[in-house]
Chains A and B, each alone.
Chain A
Amino acid sequence: MDDLNVKNQPALKQFVPTPPRPPHKSERGVFGTIRHRCFNSIGNSLLTLCVATVLFYLVKHVLDWAVFNAVFIADNRRQCMDISPDGACWAGVISWFNGLIYGRFPIDEQWRVNIGVLLGLVWLLPLMSKRIPLRNFVLLSWIGLYPFVGGYLFLGGRFGAELGLVHGAMTCLALAFLVILYANWILSALGKKGLNELFVPLVSRFVERRIHLLSFVAVWLLVGLVIAFGLSQIALEPVPIDRWGGLFLTFIIAGFAITMAIPVGVILALGRRSKLPVIHWLSMTVIELVRSVPLITVLFMAVTLLPIFLPADMEFNKLTQVLVAVCLFAGAYMAENIRGGLQAIPKGQYEAAATLGLGYLHTMVLIILPQALRMMIPNIMTSFISLLKDTTLVSIIGLFDIMLMARNIANDKDWVGMHTEPLVMISVLFFILCYSMSQYSLNLEKRLKVDR
């Protein structure tokens, strides 16, 4: 009966899709692009030439001062002046280099700082790899456990004595976690089961539920014990906190502020959205109060007021007070960023989560916050960059961070009045740090964009 239809009606044309063509490529090379962009009209050409000339002189002067006429080897400022009066005197910065990086940390113990920073980076390395066991816990463990390792290395003392047993135990657990993390990484690359599964057969003989968790805990404790035994054999020279300084201290303060900003910010932001009046008003007061006050006053308040409010027998050093202040400050700003992200999440996401049966915590942690944070990456990164720069303010209340060390150079009798070179060096250093952070944020944004 199909034949009948075909005969009566005109045959339908058959649609054949046009074959795809490769996309258009630009044929212009570097020179083509420059000519097209910069010399496409007389006015533009003139402008290009003017700017190029100005740029050339600027760069030439800077290079003359910083490189060609600069002095790299000298004993004091006078010698520098004699050798080359109109060049930079890097010799001063070089002779103070150690101080700029480590502050007044004893020279013989500086390896501990290096190891500590290295450990911190090594800990985060697994984040680079896409699929490795325990990856979800890397960041969490870093935030929760790394500070103990850092504290142990930087403060020193006999194991479990000066810093207390709890701190010692946490240090061992932290190191044990790191060991398991890396062992698992290697084992999984070899196609073997993770170290934390070691006791699964044994544990499964005694219990039926949570076998994997129990096995993990058992392995963790065991490795921790071994490490504890190892650590108890060595005693590190104690280094008091007021010897900490330089870039090292800046990193500690900024690193603490940056890692605490998101957790504190999330708590404050969620608190502000809470339906419970007490929590709502409390969060709001903290956010608005801290945000309406310059960081420098927050710092001063922390140092002068905190000891008054807290019980007298609670001992505080200046660094702890500063860390608390910076953490509050960072959290309050971050809270507003995160609140912006939260507001952009459509109501449907909450409803979908609710119909699946997810509770408040699950909904927030699994559904809402990942999206909100992703959306706010540019703002969050901007906050982080300002935080890194703002932490140099702590020099004003007398912490020997890189800024104060730099200003100290000018007070050294050999290098009296040398202000410019250290500041230039710090500017370059901060530019490199902040620029890489902003590049990383762009990269992160691009990588996460696929999802939308």
Chain B
Amino acid sequence: MTTSCGNLAQKAVTETAIKIDNLNKWYGDHHVLKDVSLDISEGEIMVVCGPSGSGKSTLIRSLNHLEEYQEGVVSVFGQPLSRDRQSHKIIHQTMGMVFQNFNLFPHLTVLQNCTLGLTWLRKMSEREADKMAMRLLDRVGIAHLATRYPGQLSGGQQQRVAISRSLAMEPKIMLFDEPTSALDPEMVKEVLDVMIDLAKTGMTMVCVTHEMQFARQVADRVVFMADGEIIEVGPPEQVLVNPQWDRTKEFLQHVL
């Protein structure tokens, strides 16, 4: 199972989708990201793993400005981001995010969750938006639940709705922060299958996950983080099978 089926192999020319340059972040005196630099190419599937508290969430949330950082630059498709309107626009047009605890809007139906951004931000007509959302819901296999409320769905179904909701805005990059950690084992697979399908479409993906099986199957590269630093970056067969660092090896022994 060490053969990678990522996108990079099929892509001849690749552009840099995200460029992280010397990112540093502190919570008070606590230095949580230390000189993190990383390039993610367009169409690449990047899996981020590492022990709890190593700063994975902080890193991925810095990319779309859910967290502030004190030093460093993040560029998206060559555009360095700052805190201005223009950057916000770029972020929202290019990046979607899926959270560990779904964060669906509980007062809206599944369909409304997906069409909200389309009708209010894209000014799409209701009929068009519904059609597009239904297509996405169908793709993740829950079109029949469109009129339900999130509270009436299982965790796996909710996470698939969350993925459709993000996809509805047609992002170029999808960020996943432990999308399967809050799920029962039986539901993990249904969400991972959706993510694998998504990976095959050529979407650029950054996934924080502890699913090593998934990493080996679809990742182009795996990043191993500990204590706010990137310790190893490389193809999954290298980082996960022949790690260069003791810290990585120790971690892998725990999760595998």
Contact = CB atoms under 8 A, between A and B. Distances in A.
A354 B66 contact: yes
B7 interface: no
Given A355-B96, A355-B166, A450-B149, A374 B107 contact: yes
Interface stretch (B115-123, B129-137, B215-223): B115-123
Interface string B138-170: 000000000001011000000000100110010
Interface stretch (B97-105, B196-204, B225-233): B97-105
B75 to A, nearest CB: 19
Nearest to B165: A356
B105 A352 contact: yes
Contacts of A450: 149, 151-152
Contacts of A358: 116-117, 120-121
Contact of B107 (A346, A356, A357, A451): A451
B116 A366 contact: yes
Nearest to A353: B105
A451 B106 contact: yes
A352 B163 CA distance: 12
B64 interface: yes
Of B88, B93, B116, B165, the most chain A CB neighbours within 10 A belong to B116
Given A357-B92, A358-B121, A371 B116 contact: no
Interface in A336-394: 346, 348-349, 351-352, 354-358, 362, 366-367, 370-371, 374
B95 interface: yes
Nearest to B151: A452
Interface in A385-427: none
Contact of B120 (A348, A362, A451): A362
Given A356-B121, A356-B169, A452-B151, A370 B92 contact: no
Nearest to B99: A348
13 contacts: A352-B105, A355-B95, A355-B96, A356-B121, A357-B88, A357-B121, A358-B116, A358-B120, A358-B121, A362-B121, A450-B152, A451-B107, A451-B149
Interface of B: 64, 66, 88, 92-93, 95-97, 99, 101, 103-108, 116-117, 120-121, 149, 151-152, 162, 165-166, 169
Interface pairs A-B: 8 shortest CB-CB? A357-B92, A352-B103, A348-B103, A355-B97, A356-B117, A451-B149, A452-B151, A451-B107
